């Protein structure tokens, strides 16, 4: 049944998806003759080149210096692609994961100095006690095997179920590691209280040590790794190297999904303030703003269920440079968000009904890639202009 649904989807979206045979290498596109399957957006014409169509619950993407691409599956697998084709291989030595609902193997990224130290970082849930915890781990590659696995940071306390685990990992220009952890579906105690790691964005050294200038290092009872709090379930983060800024998107309840500018020590309000309501339609909170709590740069109501995102810096997409591309799960599209500095300007919905978009990532070569659930696609965005 799964394959039948996928086949029906592909037929329905044939007008804008160029479904090349899996493993096709990049093809030269003459500027004078745009591909007939290309999509005309407000600013650019983009061909969607489908590289693979058998993903289940993909989450993260990263590229090795040799050009290979790694894609995580939430159930605990890391697929290997080369020259935009699935090699048929998967990494071994992947840590055992606590796979429940939204928990499992999540994000993956390389250390900024990977070529000298070889560290690959992963965010994943593991079993602990009667529940699970979010772990930031790192390992090295020996062939196709992960070796020397270390648990850099373990979030606490343990939590039953698999709701709201986040999680994304980014590094800033100074080498600090930031990661997001959802509130585990508990309110209000987790996100607003500083004595736990849930509903927060954290900042650590690459080996798990706590920076001495973190905002709550000297606060009695506070988890010293906390950078921001009051974050419901941030599943996307992007670092703006040129301006030293961190952007994050987080799920609201029914309505109230947010884009936030992440700054030291800030309280982003969940669940004391929100532009959303409870899933049953009842009032969540009467407050949309409170003193000492940050307002989102923008929010979505109704929800689009934002997940991963990328800040476009590539010259291959000149009309999109500086824009955020946000993955939308519920409305199954990519949201292009235009910013003026730290201010929201406008947005455009791209590639409607492509599937539940889990992540958008920019490769070292400057191309944008998208992974989806439901339709199970790995798609490359090839500019035609």
354 near 333, Cβ under 8 Å?
yes
Closest CA to 334 of 323, 344, 349, 322: 349
Identify any residues that bridge with 298 across adjacent strands, giving them in sequence order: 259
Residue 354's contacts (CB-CB under 8 Å, 6 or more residues apart) are 13, 17, 48, 332, 333, 334, 370, 372, 375, 377, 379
164 carries an active-site annotation = yes
Q: Are strands 200-204 and 234-240 parallel, antiparallel or unpaired?
A: unpaired
Tokens of 123: 């965010």
Query: Which parts of the chain fold into alpha helices (H)?
Result: 2-12, 114-117, 189-192
Residue with tokens 């709701």: 163
Query: How far apart (Å, rounded) are the C-alpha atoms in residues 231 and 181?
Result: 8
Q: Are 36 and 373 in contact (CB under 8 A)?
A: no
What is the DSSP secondary structure assignment for residue 273, as one 8-state letter?
S
CA-closest candidate to residue 134, choices 157, 111, 150: 157
Structure tokens at 292: 């000492």
Catalytic residue among 98, 111, 164, 202: 164
Residue 136, CA atoms < 13 Å, CB-side half-sphere: 31
Q: Rounded distance, CA 141 to CA 86, Å?
A: 18
Which residues are designated catalytic? 164
């Amino acid at each position: 049944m799964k394959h039948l649904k996928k086949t029906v989807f592909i037929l329905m979206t044939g007008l804008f998806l160029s479904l090349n045979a899996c493993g096709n290498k990049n093809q030269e596109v003459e500027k004078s003759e745009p591909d007939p399957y290309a999509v005309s957006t407000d600013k650019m014409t983009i061909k969607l080149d489908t590289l693979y169509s058998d993903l289940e619950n993909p989450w993260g993407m990263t590229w090795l210096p040799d050009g290979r691409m790694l894609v995580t599956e939430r159930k605990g697998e890391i697929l290997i692609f080369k020259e935009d084709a699935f090699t048929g291989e998967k990494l071994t030595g992947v840590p055992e994961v606590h796979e429940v609902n939204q928990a499992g193997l999540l994000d993956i990224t390389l250390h900024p100095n990977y070529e000298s130290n070889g560290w690959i970082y992963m965010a994943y849930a593991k079993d602990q006690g009667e529940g699970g915890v979010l772990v930031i781990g790192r390992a090295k590659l020996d062939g196709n095997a992960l070796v020397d696995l270390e648990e850099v940071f373990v979030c606490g306390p343990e939590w039953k179920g698999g709701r709201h685990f986040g999680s994304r990992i980014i590094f800033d220009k100074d080498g600090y590691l930031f990661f997001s952890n959802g509130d585990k579906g508990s309110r209000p105690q987790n996100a607003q209280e500083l004595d736990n790691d849930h509903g927060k964005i954290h900042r650590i050294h690459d080996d798990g040590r706590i920076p001495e200038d973190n905002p709550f290092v000297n606060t009695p009872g506070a988890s010293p790794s906390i950078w921001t709090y009051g974050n419901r379930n941030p599943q996307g983060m992007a670092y703006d190297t040129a301006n030293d800024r961190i952007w994050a998107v987080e799920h609201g309840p029914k309505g109230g999904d947010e884009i936030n500018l992440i700054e030291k020590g800030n309280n982003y309000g969940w669940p004391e303030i929100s532009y959303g309501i409870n899933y049953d339609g009842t009032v969540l909170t009467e407050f949309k703003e409170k003193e000492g709590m940050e307002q989102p740069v923008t929010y979505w109501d109704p929800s689009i269920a934002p997940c991963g995102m990328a800040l476009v810096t590539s010259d291959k997409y000149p009309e999109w440079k500086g824009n955020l591309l946000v993955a939308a799960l519920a409305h199954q599209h990519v949201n292009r968000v235009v910013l003026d500095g730290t201010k929201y300007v406008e947005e455009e919905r791209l590639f409607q009904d492509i599937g539940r978009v889990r992540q958008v990532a920019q490769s070292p070569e400057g191309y944008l890639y998208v992974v989806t659930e439901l339709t199970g696609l790995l798609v490359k965005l090839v500019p035609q202009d």
